[in-house]
């Protein structure tokens, strides 16, 4: 009997020890699992912090200025601008006669000194056209016609300034240099498209620009989308043959 009780006691003791060891093992496993989960969360947080966009800069709200400050222009202005840009642009009629006769062309870059009244006082050619008559004409025209908004100093007072510009002298023919005739014929089909162009006559003093235009498109609508077609009395689209005659006569000066 005592022997059996001893065996039972030993068994109970061993069972208790086994249960304690099992509990400890489970506790250790749970600790490892929690540590792994916490490490994973920490890694995710670090990754999110790495790829997260930076915070937007703070918005600065400034107090509104007074009405006078808001409407008053910047008082310090060294720029000199023409009152009328047309006054500093020579026209085709300004072409110097000697340069025209000699077929001279060129680009003139110049600088004007402008006083506090907005009037030019001197002209300097910075880059010559290579032809004195064109250089001199450029300066003479802007000196005579130019009117400017004067420069301004730090106190907003008118002061001396400078103005720089460029003029390109290039010969231009009149649109109708003399008497000429142009006679063409073409077909406008039922869709409104021009075709079958025939140049019957181009003669006389046709300007080079107009001649190039007729070379590209001798008959109206040849290189353009279809226009409105002709129609018969019932309203049905039909084709028509069209002749265009342009006659220009240029006489002497008016009396």
Cα 150 to Cα 155: distance, rounded to the nearest angstrom: 14
Give the CATH number of domain 81-169; options: 3.30.43, 3.30.200, 3.30.1150, 1.10.3470. 3.30.1150
- pLDDT tier for residue 115 given thresholds of 50, 70 and 90: very high
Over residues 157-212, the pLDDT tens digits come to 999 999 999 999 998 888 888 899 999 999 999 999 999 999 999 899 888 888 88
33 pLDDT exceeds 60?
A: no
Cα 129 to Cα 125: distance, rounded to the nearest angstrom: 9
Closest CA to 247 of 156, 199, 183, 189: 183
Q: In Å, how far are 125, 175, 177 from 254, measured between CA atoms? A: 39, 18, 16
Higher pLDDT, 254 or 180: 180
Average pLDDT of 40-55? 48
Domain ranges of the chain: 81-169, 180-248
The reported pLDDT for the residue numbered 23 is 52
Over residues 209-230, the pLDDT tens digits come to 888 888 888 888 888 888 899 9
């Amino acid at each position: 009997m005592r022997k059996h009780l001893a065996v039972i006691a030993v068994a109970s003791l061993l069972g208790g020890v086994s249960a304690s060891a099992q509990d400890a093992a489970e506790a250790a496993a749970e600790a490892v699992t929690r540590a792994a989960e916490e490490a994973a969360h920490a890694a995710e947080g670090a990754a999110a912090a790495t790829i997260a966009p930076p915070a937007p800069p703070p918005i600065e709200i400034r107090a509104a200025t007074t009405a006078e400050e808001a409407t008053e222009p910047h008082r310090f202005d060294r720029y000199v601008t023409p009152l009328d840009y047309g006054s500093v642009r020579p026209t085709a009629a300004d072409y110097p006669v000697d340069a025209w006769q000699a077929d001279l062309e060129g680009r003139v870059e110049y600088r004007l000194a402008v006083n506090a009244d907005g009037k030019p006082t001197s002209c300097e050619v910075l880059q010559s056209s290579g032809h004195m008559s064109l250089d001199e004409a450029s300066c003479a025209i802007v000196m005579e016609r130019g009117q400017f908004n004067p420069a301004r100093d730090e106190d907003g007072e008118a002061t001396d300034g400078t103005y720089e510009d460029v003029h390109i002298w290039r010969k231009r023919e009149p649109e109708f240099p003399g008497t000429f005739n142009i006679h063409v014929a073409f077909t406008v089909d039922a869709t409104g498209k021009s075709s079958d162009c025939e140049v019957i006559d181009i003669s006389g003093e046709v300007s080079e620009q107009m001649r190039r235009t007729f070379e590209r498109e001798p008959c109206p609508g040849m290189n353009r989308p279809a226009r409105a077609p002709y129609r018969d009395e019932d309203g049905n689209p039909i084709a028509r043959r069209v002749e265009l005659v342009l006659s220009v006569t240029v006489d002497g000066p008016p009396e």
